[in-house]
Structure 1
């Protein structure tokens, strides 16, 4: 198994089965950010189950799929999830095997020997420590190479490419672009994004007040147009407390939550708890304080029990919840 940098700024880090690996600010990871501890994370791979347990050692928050791990706490990193080493930066992913680019681009150490090759040799010498499945070359470590994920194609950068996708675009002016959410969490779900390059709400200041007003106005216009003036369809307009996608975007989402893409507790709680911050509140904070409040602690809300957003009844699972809300409207 390997921990790969999504931006390809350093070589993949080999993760031996059951062996703790510590990463952080170092020449190896190319991370120079002082918010990142030299021992920010401890990672232990489980080859047979194809995941790694990640423990946050550093004081500043690390995230898996946008959710803070918490100092001294451990969370599971599965294939397909993204680990941000610190402060929603330095994205990495777990890979079972290397892509051709990762092999071709490996760098040599001062002795002229590939450091990746050195790690592979070390791995071969420790095969007895790995699981039987991994040693025997089952699906966990063999197969055709996966396509390389380029910096521009990393999922957290997806909004920037979607902005120019004519099949998704529903409105555009000189200040904003509105697209349909690729994976809508309700019957009507749009994203209003500024043309200006703004990473997230954290990067807003008082100079952006008029832009936020405009985004809110456009969002309300889109909502009204989309449902043909059906006054029974309710919408909310707002931002996630800790957005996972890189580029400021305001959600315009109908409150029916009728969509097959609404699948998990995290999906539900991101739109029905205080984790979803109303656009009016963000605008008020910018106009009065010149910045947006720090809401990183709100990631804990994503773990809340499932509750109907109308009557607040607690449900056991998503199928039960989705059935309930159809009757509760």
Structure 2
């Protein structure tokens, strides 16, 4: 794939390439990807996953990259299960920015409290919640299979990201805010509710084994499995009685 040429005043956009090889922030590495801590986190927990293959941004993805994206999705969820989800009550999301500041494709692994020291502007927040600015890896795979690329309306995306008056919806209740400090303060009010729901879901019954991470991400499937487990356990009890 032909790589883009960037002027000297945009060389800062290549700083992620240095981060890939910085042992101080590197968390995981295999033959296809590397995971590093975000130097300017937009949330309390924020990591980046980058491929070794030289892909500039999500707009440069093509159908032959689908196996790589599937690997990134798998490893991203495995990493989140071990290093992110156990340390936050907030949901964890994985995805790419459609309009990326830095060169080298990178997938964000981020908690949705959006209360990190790097989240200084409304644009920093909108990049993670607006559908025009954010694409999940499974949606990226779908678009590549269907359209052969990830369509991006650059003019629309930039107007959304840079708008000083476009309200920002809360990630959870959709209440809208203009100023990022008020939004961040509001997001913190959801922590107690999320903690309560998280604890209720993790509560085990005498018929169920401890909840695997796979089911934590697929709660509907977990409930079905739990019901099935109760039926099986009940049948075992009845069989012993007779």
State which structure, 1 or 2, has the greater radius of gyration over its C-alpha atoms.
1
SS in 2 for 1:191: strand
Per the alignment, residue 298 of structure 1 pairs with 157
Residue 265 in 1 paired to residue 127 in 2?
Answer: no
Pick from 278, 284, 294 the counterpart of residue 136 of structure 2: 278
Cα distance, 1:228 vs structure 2: 5.9
Q: Unmatched 5+ residue regions in structure 1?
A: 1-87, 94-150
Residue 239 in 1 paired to residue 72 in 2?
Answer: no
Pick from 166, 169, 173 the counterpart of residue 30 of structure 2: 173
SS in 1 for 2:173: coil
Cα distance, 1:266 vs structure 2: 1.0
SS in 1 for 2:110: strand
Pick from 72, 75, 89 the counterpart of residue 218 of structure 1: 75
CA distance in 1: counterparts of 2:84 and 2:150, whole angstroms: 31
Higher helix share: 2
CA distance in 2: counterparts of 1:237 and 1:280, whole angstroms: 10
Cα distance, 1:231 vs structure 2: 7.7
Higher strand share: 1
Question: What pairs with 1:96-175 in structure 2 (closer than 5 Å)?
Answer: 154-175=11-32
| Residue deviations 1:246-304 (CA, integer Å, cap 9, x gap) | 11111111111121221111111111211111111111111232222133122222122
Query: 1:287 and 1:272, CA in 2 relative to 1: closer, same or farther beyond 3 A?
Result: same
Cα distance, 1:188 vs structure 2: 1.3
Per the alignment, residue 47 of structure 2 pairs with 190
Higher RCO (C-alpha under 8 Å, 6+ residues apart): 2
Query: 1:263 and 1:250, CA in 2 relative to 1: closer, same or farther beyond 3 A?
Result: same
Per the alignment, residue 184 of structure 2 pairs with 322
Cα distance, 1:92 vs structure 2: 6.1
Q: Unmatched 5+ residue regions in structure 2?
A: 192-242
The alignment covers a number of residue pairs equal to: 183
Contact 1:159 1:247 survives alignment (8 Å)? yes
Per the alignment, residue 288 of structure 1 pairs with 146
Cα distance, 1:200 vs structure 2: 1.3
User: How does the TM-score come out when normalised to structure 1?
Assistant: 0.52
SS in 1 for 2:135: strand
